Amino acid sequence: MLIKILATLLMTVWVTTASAYGWEDDDPLLLSGGGHEAKVEYELTCDEQRARDPSMTGEEYTDFLLKFQDTDCAKIFKPGDIGFGGGKVFHVTDEGRHGMEIAPYHHTSVEYGCWYVGLEGARNQAFGAGKSNTEVALGKNCVSHYGGSSIFDVLRNFDAGDFRDWYIPSYYELKEIYRVLGPYTVTEKGSAQHSYPQFFWSSSESYAIWMWGLNLTTGKNALAGHSKKLSVLLIRDF
């Protein structure tokens, strides 16, 4: 009888302690230990485990999320969902654990740059080639033909969602965005000479000074010289 009374008192203390700390019925409480060592533990939710530690750099958090998406706490995405960076997901792999998302907004009237700079290593049009194409072009240290900003200035300063791993999509990555997400509305008008805001840059060079581009409203493709001003919609992997 004495043992039963003590056990009841201990359970009362546990419940009272949990209430005092503001835990609700649905919160994940774990009872651990035995005898006089028994205690209440709080189990972090998946969202809390996924949260960025203030000490992490953007690159460290990107690496953390890639690994976290392989755990039981992975956030499962489907095309059209909003990704970690704030843009729409247009491609998924591993049953939705990983994939690609577009940026939450685009930039208009952006010159590509690299005027008369050969980008032979960035001519891959294939799906999945955007990142390597972008890295090749970044290595050329290209500048604007007209002395303004280029697509690479936009890229270096872009940090939507606190991520810095955005890149310029390849030609077939642009086509996949259009195929999966449908027409992308662009309301801006060309505000500068040689400006075509409905067309978006790809990272795939055709030859010499020509880059592949795509109208994300109609799906029509085009070749544009490096000095022309098109829109840019960056993407990232997750």
Q: What is the pLDDT of residue 120?
A: 87
d(CA 235, CA 167): 6
Residue 119 lies in a domain: yes
| Residue 197 in domain | yes
Residues 124, 6 share a domain? no
Per-residue pLDDT band at 14 (split at 50, 70, 90):
very low
Same domain, 38 and 113: no
Question: What pLDDT score does 16 carry?
Answer: 43
Domain membership of residue 10 (yes or no) is yes
Does residue 25 sit within a domain? Answer: yes
Write out the residue range of the structural domain in which residue 194 sits: 107-237
Judge if 119 and 226 occupy the same domain: yes
Q: Kindly state whether residues 117 and 226 are assigned to the same domain.
A: yes
pTM assigned to the model: 0.81
Could you read off the pLDDT of 187-210 as tens digits, one per residue? 887 666 688 999 999 999 998 889
Closest CA to 163 of 64, 48, 46, 80: 64
Residues 112, 230 within the same domain: yes
The SS3 assignment for 77 reads coil
Residue 75 falls inside a structural domain = no
Q: Do residue 232 and residue 118 come from a single domain?
A: yes
Q: In this structure, is residue 8 part of a structural domain?
A: yes
- Distance between CA atoms of residues 101 and 114, nearest Å: 26
- pLDDT value, residue 190: 65
Kindly state whether residues 133 and 226 are assigned to the same domain.
yes
Determine, yes or no, domain membership for 49: no
Domain count, the chain: 2
Residue 96 lies in a domain: no
Residues 231, 128 within the same domain: yes
Q: What is the pLDDT of residues 69-128, one digit of tens each?
A: 999 999 999 999 999 999 999 999 999 999 999 999 999 999 999 888 889 899 999 999
Residue ranges with strand state E in 68-208: 89-93, 98-102, 107-111, 195-207
Asked if residue 236 has pLDDT above 50, the reply is: yes
Mean per-residue pLDDT, 155-180 = 97
For the segment 27-65, what is each residue's pLDDT rounded down to a tens digit? 454 545 555 565 667 889 999 999 999 999 989 999 999
